[in-house]
Amino acid sequence: MGLYLIFINFMLISLLILLKEVDHFLSVLVASELLLLSAFGLSSVLGQSYVPASVLGGFSVVILCLGVCESCMGLGILTSMGRHKGGSKVYNLSSFKL
């Protein structure tokens, strides 16, 4: 019973994030991934008899795609923050001054 409540709470939290942060793409991406992961976990708790294997396979592919998109967006944000602050710090650390 406790696992059902945990997954339902995660689904409600992700729906709340989706409704509240509609204007922010990264927040919508994270909330969508959380919603799909919660649905995937809830379906695995309920058992394979309730959810067909093709649906579970589709869930896993969508979750993987959202995770890749989220990590690429995060890397892009970090790169743009580094450029905004004055360039790459790694280049300055690796240059030797004689």
Which carries the bigger pLDDT value, residue 82 or residue 13?
13
What's the pLDDT band for 87 if we cut at 50, 70, 90?
A: low
Q: What is the pTM of this model?
A: 0.55
Structural domain harbouring 19? 2-94
Q: 39-77, pLDDT tens digit by residue?
A: 777 777 776 556 666 776 777 777 778 777 777 777 777
Position 94 scores a pLDDT of 43
For residue 51, the 8-state DSSP code is S
**C-alpha span between 98 and 95 (Å, rounded):** 10
Residues 6+ apart with CB under 8 A from 51: 43
For the chain, the domain total comes to: 1
